[in-house]
Structure 1
Amino acid sequence: MTAFRQYFEDNPEIFAALVAAIAILGGLLGSIIGAKIQANGGHAQAAAAQKAAEIAAEAQRVAALWGVRQVQVAEFIRCAREAVAISQRLYEAEPDDEELRRQVHAAYQAMGSKAAELILIATEKVVDVVEATLLAAEELEQEAMDSGSTAHAESVFTHLYLSRDMVTARAARVAQHALDATTGETYESRMQALRAVPGLSENLAHELAANSGRGNRLQWIERGGRKSGALEEKLAELVRETRAMLRSEDYVAPAPVPRQRRRWWRAA
C-alpha cells in the first residue's frame, strides 16, 4: 500500500488522470441508474393512467346502459297503458268503427315493438316479465275486439229496455224474449224483433242477434276487467324487476378513480 501511494506521489499526472477517469465513470453510472429508475417510474405511471382510463370507460358504458334500460322500460309501460286505455273505448263504440279498431291494433303493435327492443338489453328476469306482460296484453286486446262492441250494444239495449217511452220499452221486452229463447228463434227472427225497437241501430241489432247466448254485458265487462287486472299485475311486477335491475334502492356514488402516486424525482 505504501509503495502504491509512493508511486502516485511520484507521478501526480497519472493520479490526476485516474481521478478524472473515476469521475467520468461515476457520472456515467449515475446517469444509467437514474435513467433506469425514471424509466421504471414512467412505466408504472403509464400503467396507472391506463387503469384509470379503463375504469372511466367501464363507468361510462354502465351509465349508458342504465340510461337506455330506464328509457326503454318506461316507454314499454307507457305503450301498455295507452293500449289499455284505447282498447276500453271499444266498449263504448259502434261495431262498425273500423278506425278505432285500427288504432287499438296499432297501439298493441307499438307495445310489441318496444318489447322486442327491451329483450335485447334487459336482464333475463325483466325479459321474462316483459314477455308475460305482452301475452296478457294480447289476451286483453282479443277480448276487447271480440266483446267490446257487443257489450256496447247490450248497454244501449238495456237503456231502451228501461225507457219511460212505453212503445220503446214494450218493443225491447219482446226483443229480449226472442234473445232469451233457447229454441224456436233464429238469427232472422231475433233481428226482426230487434229492428222493431226504436233507437236501436242495425249494427247494434246485429251484435245482439249474432251473440245471443254468449252471455250478457256484465259478464263481458267482468271478463275484460279480469284480463285488464292481469295485465296491471304484470306491469306492477315489471316495475319491481326493473327497479332491481337498475338498483334503484342502492346509494349510487361515482366510482373513485385511483390516485396516481407522484414519484420522488417529480416531487419538486
Structure 2
Amino acid sequence: MLQEKIISLFCLPESQVKRELEGETSNEARSDESRLKLLRHEFPHFEELVSGADVVDFGCGLGWQSLELARIGAKKVLGVDINETYLREAAEKKARVDPENLLPVEYCDIHDIGPDHKFDLVISQNAMEHYTNPQRVLEQMLSITKDDGKILITFGPPWYSPYGSHMHFFCKLPWLNILFSEKAIMSVRERYRDDGAERFEDVESGLNRMSLSKFENFCRTLGLVFSYRRYRGIKGLDSLSKIPVLRELFVNRVSVVIARGARAPGENVA
C-alpha cells in the first residue's frame, strides 16, 4: 500500500491520460512523414536502403509503416505480424487508401512466410522489447534475409532505462520498475487501463524486460554482427553507452544494422 501511495504522487490525472490515449489511437491523423521519422533519424541513408528493395516490415501492426515504405520506393513490402486482428485491419486500410492497388504491399502471418522467400531488408521498429521469445524472432529475421541483405532493428526504451517499464503514459517517475514492485506498479496502472493485466508480460503487446545487455547477448549467441550501431543516451548523453552499468540505466534507444556476412572489425559504432 505504501508503494502505491508513493507512485501515485507522481501520476498524471486520470482524465488527462484518457484524453492523451484517445488521441494516440487515431493513427490516420498522423502525417505520412511521421510514420518513418524515427527510421530516417536512426539509420543513415535509410531511403537508399529501401529504394528498389524487397522489404519485410517485421511486426507491422496496423500496417501504416508498410504503406509508407512502398511510397518511398520499396520494390515490394511484406508486412508481417502474429496478431490476426492487426493483419485484417491492415489489409482493410490498404484497400481503403489504395483502392487501385498501386502500392506493392501485402500482409501475412509471420509463420506463413515460406522457407524459400528471402528479402533484401528486414525492418523492426519498437517491437524487440515486446516479443515473447526475442531470440526466436531474431532467428526468424535471419532466416528470411538474403545472404547480402540487412536487418534494421530499433527499439526503446530498454528495460533498465528511466522509462523502460513503459508506464510513463501515466507516471513520470523514472526507473519505476527498479524502485517499486511489479505488483504495486500494476495496481496503480489499473486506474488507467482496465485490460486486467497483472504482470508486465500481460500488458498490451507484452513486455519481455529487454535490457541492453540481454539484446546483445541474444545477438552474440546467434553469431550476429552489427555493421552499424547507435545507442542513444538520455538528454543526448550517448557517451554513457560506453560505461559499464551506467549504459543500462541511461541508454534510451538501441539501433543496429545486422548485415549478413559482416565482420566484427568493420563494425561502425556511431
Please report the TM-score for the alignment, with normalisation by the length of structure 1. 0.24
Query: When you count helix as a share of all residues, which structure comes out higher?
Result: 1
If the length of structure 2 is used for normalisation, what is the TM-score?
0.24
Tell which has more relative contact order, 1 or 2 (C-alpha 8 A, sep 6+).
Answer: 1
Name the larger-Rg structure: 1
